[in-house]
Structure 1
Amino acid sequence: MAVDPAPADGWSSWPAPAKLNLFLRIPRRRPDGYHELQTVFRMLDWGDTVRLRSRDDGIVRRVGASVAGVAEADDLLVRAAGLLQSEANSRQGADISVEKRIPAGAGFGGGSSNAATVLRALDRLWGLNLGVDRLAALGLRLGADVPVFVRGENAWAEGVGEVLTPVALPPAWYVLVDPGVHAATAALFQAPELTRNAAPATISDFVSGAGLGNAFEPVLRRREPAVEAAFAALARIGTPRLTGSGSGCFVEFATRESAEAALAALPSSLKAWVAAGAARSPLLEALEGNAVIGDS
C-alpha cells in the first residue's frame, strides 16, 4: 500500500483489519445481564478498506453500497463519525465509504473494525488529537469489540471484552471459512445451553497451549448445519476453532505454505481463504506514517 500525501480527489483509504478470537470463555453472567468474557484477540493482515473525505459543512454521509438492511443512521461507520463530532464539538464532516471483504455475522469483527478505523482516521484528518484512551472509550459506546481495534494490539481481553492486556503472538497463518450463516449475537447470549460458568483462565493457561475452547462453538454447531459442515471439513486439515460469537471458523498453521496447501485440500464449495496473523493492526502502520494512506 503506497503513501499518497494528497489524493487528488480528497479521498484517503485506511485499513480496517479483521480479527480472530483464539478462544472465548464466559466465567459468569453479571447482575446487569452482561456476560464477563475472557478471550485473546488476534489481528489479521486482511480486512476491509474504509475511505474518508473530510467536509467543512458538518455533514456526515455514507457513500456507495452498504451492508444490506442497515439504515444509514444505524451504520457503525456513520455513528462513529457522529460520536467523534459530538465528543470533540467539531463542525467538520465526512463522506464515508467502505470496501467490504469481511463477511457480516461471521465473528471476524468487520463492523467494529470499521468503526474503530473511522474514529482513529478522522481524529487524524480533523486534527483533533483526542488520544487513544479517549478514542477507545468512545469506541466502547459503539460496541464491546471496538476498543481493541482502536488500540490495534493483539490482546488478552476480559470484562465485556474491553479490559485489554497486550500480548505478543508468534507469526501464524490461518485458513478461514465463512459458512454463510449470520449469527445473531444477542440471541446466542440468551441460549439456555450456553456455558456461563467456565473456570476462569489465565494468560499462562493460554501460553501453555491449553485448549480453552469457545463457549459458542457447541451452540452454533448444534443449531447451524452449515457450521457443523464447516467444522467437519476443517477437521481434515487441522483443529478447527470458532471465532467470537459468529459462524466463522479457522485453523492455525505455522507457515504460509502449510496453510495454502491445506486450503487446496478443502472442497471447492467451501468459502475459504488464507490470511496472515499480524503482529499488530495494519491501521497503526498507516497512522504512524506521516502521510495519509492512498489507494494505490
Structure 2
Amino acid sequence: MILKKKVDKEKEIRKLHQALQEADSVIIGAGAGLSTSAGFTYTGKRFEKYFQDFEEKYGFHDMYSLGFYPYNSMEEFWGFWCRYIWINRYTLIPSDVYQNLLDLVKNKDYFVLTTNVDHCFQKSGFDKKRLFYTQGDYGLFQSSSPSGVSKKKTYDNYETIRKMVLSEGFQIADNGELIVPQNTKIKMTVPSALVPVCPDDGKLMTTNLRSDDTFVQDDGWYEAQNRYHDFLKSHQGMKTVFLEIGVGGNTPGIIKFNFWKRTYEWPHATYACLNLGEAFAPKEIEKKSICIDDDIGATLKKLKEWID
C-alpha cells in the first residue's frame, strides 16, 4: 500500500536535516527530476531556442519526443542529436542545485545511483568513484549493432559532436554555451562525412543510452556497479539515509523499489523522497520515511543553509 498524506513540509525538511546529520552513510538515488530542477528542461523556451526548426517540421514540442522520431537519414538524425547532446551534456549547469546537494553530503560517506545521463554529478565535483550511472552517458557513442570488440566498448563523442553543431551553423561560447547567431539559418542536417561509424566493427554509431538489448555496458559500467554493490554490503548495518531525488515512474525498479526494500530490511535505514508532486512511500516503511512534496532545488537550498 502506498502512503500519500498531507505533511508539514518545514517539519519534514527538519527531519531530513537531522537524519543527514546523524547518518553514517548516504545513498543518493537521482532521477530526471533533479536535472529538471537544475534547469535542464526539455520543453519551453530552451526547447524553442534550439529546436524550433524541428518543431515546425515534425510538430513535436519537446526534446524527448523528437529523440524517438524515425528520421529518414542519419544526417538528420545527428542533426537533431548533436544539439540535444551538446546542450544537455557539454554546457554549464544552469543553477547550483547539484552543488548544493554535494555540499550536503561531501563530508559524509556517500554513494550515488542515478538514471541520469547528463554528467551533472561529475561536473559538480562528485567523486566519480562514488557514482553508478546505470542508463548510459550522453557523452559516449556505441555501435548500433555491437559485436566482437564493440560489444563491451564505448567511445567519447565530444570532438565529433562539437564539429556537428558547428557544421549546422551554431557557435560555441568559451563556457560551452551553444549560440544561435543572428541572421543565420541553422541547418537541420550534418555532413555525411561526420556521421559516425564504429572503428571496431564498421557499423553506424548511436547514442550510449539504454533503450533495448543493444545497450553497451562497458568496463567502466561494470566497475561502477561493483563499487555500488560493495558499498551496500559494507554499510548494511549502519545508520543510512536512502535519499531519493526526482525519481519518476519510468524505471522504478532501478532506484525507488530497491530503496523501499532496503529501508524495510535495514534496521537503521531512513528513506527520504524529494519530488514535486510524487513524494510518497509504502505504508510498511511509513515510520522510517521522510517525504517532501516541494521544489527540489528550494528544498536542497534550505537544507544547505541549515548545515552552513
Tell me the TM-score normalised to structure 1 length. Answer: 0.26
Larger proportion of strand: 1
The structure where helix makes up a greater share of residues is 2
In our comparison, the structure showing a higher alpha carbon Rg is 2
